[in-house]
Amino acid sequence: MDTIRNGLSRRSVLKLGAGTAAVSFLAMPAIGRAAPTSLSVANGGGALGDAFKAACFDTFEKKTGIKIISAPYMEGARLKAMVEAGAVDIDVTDTDSSEAAPLAVAGLLDEIDYSVVPKDSLIDGAASKYWTSCYIAGCVLSWNTDSAKDGRPKNWQEFFDPKFKGRRTLWKNAAQTMEVAALGAGQTLDKLYPIDIDRAFAMLDGIRSSITWWTSGAQSAQLLANGDADFGMCWNGRVDPVKQQGGPIDYTFDYSLHTPGIWSLPKGGRNRDTAMKFIAHCMDPEVQAAFSKLIPYGPTNDKAFDILSAEERARMPSSPENRKLSVAIDGDYWLENGTKIYDRFNTWVVTK
C-alpha cells in the first residue's frame, strides 16, 4: 500500500492496470483454444436426465475424456439473464423447440455448425439453424382404462364432442392445447397450420365444464391414473412408464403431436467447439437408440430405428410406423402468433 501511495503516481498505476488488462486479453484466445476438461449441459433431470447421462454423457466422456456436468434445467428467463450478463457458464441446454424459438429470435443462441454435426440421416425439421432435435416426444390421446370400458374417444373430434361424457384433462397452456382443439374441430393433420383459432375455442367452449387442467407432465399422468379424469392429452414419456408399471392408463399415437426436445447453445459459451462435438455425438444412431431404450422418446436419426426392435419402436412417437398419423408442432407459427393466442387462451381459462 505504502509503495503505491508514495512511489507511484496515479497515472503509472493506471498504466499498470491497462497493461495487465492487455496482457490478459492477449492470453485469452490461448485459454479459449485449449480443449476444456468438462462441459456443462443443462437438462430437465429426472428420468430424462438419467437417460441422458447413461446414453449421451457417459459415452461422450469415454470417447473424448471430457466430463459432462449435468446442470439444472435452464428456463428461458434464466438463459436470457445469463447471456445478457455475459456470464455464460452453461455450454449446452436441452429444452423444447417452442421455448427455444423465442430465445433464437432474441439473439440469445449460437448457430449450430452442421459441418461438425452430421445431419444427413436426421428426420425432417431436426436440423434447425439454432438447434438440433435430439429426441421426439409425443403429445398423445390418453385414457383411464377403467373409464374406457364404456368406450373411449378414438380421436380428437370425439374427444371434443360434448356428447361423449367424461372428464377431460388438458394442458393449461395455449401451445399444443390449441392444436388438439383444432384437430377436434376437424382440421386435418396436414393442414393444421395456420390454426383456425375461433373454431378451436368453440371446441373448448363445448367441453368447458368437464375440463380438469394440468400444468406439469407428472400431474397429467397422476390425474388419469387416479381416475380424476377419464381421458386427456398427455406426453407419452409420462403416461408410458405408468402404463408399464401396470397403472390403469393407456394411450394411442394416432393423431399425436410431435414436440422435439432439442440441444442449443447459449450465446457466448466458452467451449463452443467441444459443445458442437457433443451435439454431434448425441446424433449418433447408437447413442440415440440407447437413449430411446431408456425413455420412450423417439430418435431423430432415422438410422437409430434399425437398431431398435419392433417392440421398442412401437413405443416411440417418431418411429416410421407411429409417425404416419402425427404432426410436428410448428415452432415458427407460435413465434409469430404466440403472444396473441396466449393472451386469448389465458383470458378464456379464467373468464367464466
Residues that bind another protein (CB under 8 A): 75-77, 80, 98-99, 102-103, 106, 167, 172, 211-213, 215-216, 218-219, 222-223, 226-229, 338-339, 342-344, 346-352
Give which of 315, 320, 317 is closest to 303, Cα–Cα: 320
CB nearer another protein, residue 223 or residue 327: 223
Stated length of the chain:
352
Closest CB 299 distance from another protein, rounded Å: 27
CB nearer another protein, residue 142 or residue 322: 142
**Cell numbers of 122, please?**
436426421
Calpha distance 28→30 (Å, rounded) = 5
Closest CB 309 distance from another protein, rounded Å: 35
User: 3-state DSSP call for residue 34?
Assistant: coil
CB nearer another protein, residue 34 or residue 77: 77
- How many C-beta atoms lie closer than 10 Å to residue 351's C-beta? 6
Query: Read out DSSP for 175-189?
Result: HHHHHHHHHHTT--G
Closest CB 237 distance from another protein, rounded Å: 18
Calpha distance 84→97 (Å, rounded) = 21
Closest CB 173 distance from another protein, rounded Å: 8
CB nearer another protein, residue 223 or residue 265: 223
- Answer yes or no: are the C-beta atoms of 329 and 98 closer than 8 Å: yes
CB nearer another protein, residue 6 or residue 347: 347
Closest CB 339 distance from another protein, rounded Å: 6
Closest CB 213 distance from another protein, rounded Å: 6
Categorise residue 66: left if φ over 0, alpha if ψ from -120 to 50, beta otherwise.
Answer: beta
- Answer yes or no: are the C-beta atoms of 52 and 43 closer than 8 Å: yes
Contacts of 164 by beta carbon, 8 Å cutoff, 6+ apart:
153, 158
CB nearer another protein, residue 84 or residue 120: 84
